[in-house]
Chain A
């Protein structure tokens, strides 16, 4: 089973702060990586789908980078807002697998 880790486990920032967190995955046989945003009492929603080393994706104030050689992806949030409060999940797929393995998530709280 692929091991996907995320850090930190939780994070509290002030409104307006920029922040980032990490997803680590085995670099061998990498195939694809997803980032999801999961608000309380809702279901996960896809943010980014990344497949190529060096990929950088952006959606509004949120962006993500991918390093498949060293096995990590960063998610950045610029100028955090209270509505950014959520758990951010990453999920990785390797060449051998038929399905994604999810990390435990980073819980972000943005304080007004």
Chain B
């Protein structure tokens, strides 16, 4: 199993550009999550999904959108990139609500 994969690894965006961060898991997990990690801060939840077709906002959803058309994929969309969205983004998945989460390698995003 590849586990959780994320693409791209690194991206530079100009203010106002849009992009999609890809996340795929091959463990047949129902739960998937998007976090951002800012320097000196913990992981903040952006969006999560409890199954295909179901998504919900986390703590910091503004400026982002998600979709979950399949169990495997959970892309995160930035419509109008802003410098405040410069961060490292982690996707994670889990089999149950209380079970351990498995994290992808992260995407480092720089918005200039």
Number of A-B residue pairs, CB cutoff 8 Å, is 52
Q: Report yes or no: A104 in contact with B41, Cβ–Cβ below 8 A.
A: yes
Q: How far is the CA of A45 from the CA of B98 in the complex (A)?
A: 15
Q: Report yes or no: B50 in contact with A98, Cβ–Cβ below 8 A.
A: yes
Binary contact track B75-96/A, C-beta < 8 Å → 1, others 0: 0000000000000001000000
**Closest-CB distance, B45 to chain A (whole angstroms):** 6
Q: Report yes or no: B42 in contact with A102, Cβ–Cβ below 8 A.
A: yes
Q: Report yes or no: A49 in contact with B90, Cβ–Cβ below 8 A.
A: no
Select which of A4, A44, A98, A99 is within 8 A of B103 by beta carbon. Answer: A44
Number of interface residues of A (CB under 8 A): 24
Q: How far is the CA of A45 from the CA of B103 in the complex (A)?
A: 7
Q: Report yes or no: B48 in contact with A98, Cβ–Cβ below 8 A.
A: yes
B2 within 8 A of A: no
**Closest-CB distance, B104 to chain A (whole angstroms):** 6
In the complex, chain B residues whose CB is within 8 Å of the CB of A104? 40-42
Q: Report yes or no: B103 in contact with A93, Cβ–Cβ below 8 A.
A: no
Q: How far is the CA of A1 from the CA of B9 in the complex (A)?
A: 30
Q: How far is the CA of A91 from the CA of B102 in the complex (A)?
A: 13
Q: Report yes or no: B90 in contact with A43, Cβ–Cβ below 8 A.
A: yes
For chain A residues 60-94, which have a beta carbon within 8 Å of chain B? 89, 91, 93
Select which of B33, B42, B99 is within 8 A of A89 by beta carbon. Answer: B42
Q: Report yes or no: A32 in contact with B98, Cβ–Cβ below 8 A.
A: yes
Contacts A43-B103, A46-B101, A99-B58 supplied; 17 other A-B pairs, CB < 8 Å: A1-B59, A32-B97, A36-B101, A43-B104, A44-B90, A44-B103, A46-B100, A49-B98, A49-B100, A99-B33, A99-B48, A100-B45, A100-B101, A101-B59, A102-B42, A103-B42, A104-B42
List residues of chain A with CB under 8 Å of any chain B CB: 1, 4, 31-32, 34, 36, 42-46, 49, 51, 89, 91, 93, 98-105
11 A-B pairs (CB sep. < 8 Å): A4-B42, A31-B98, A44-B90, A46-B101, A49-B98, A98-B48, A98-B50, A98-B56, A99-B33, A99-B48, A102-B42
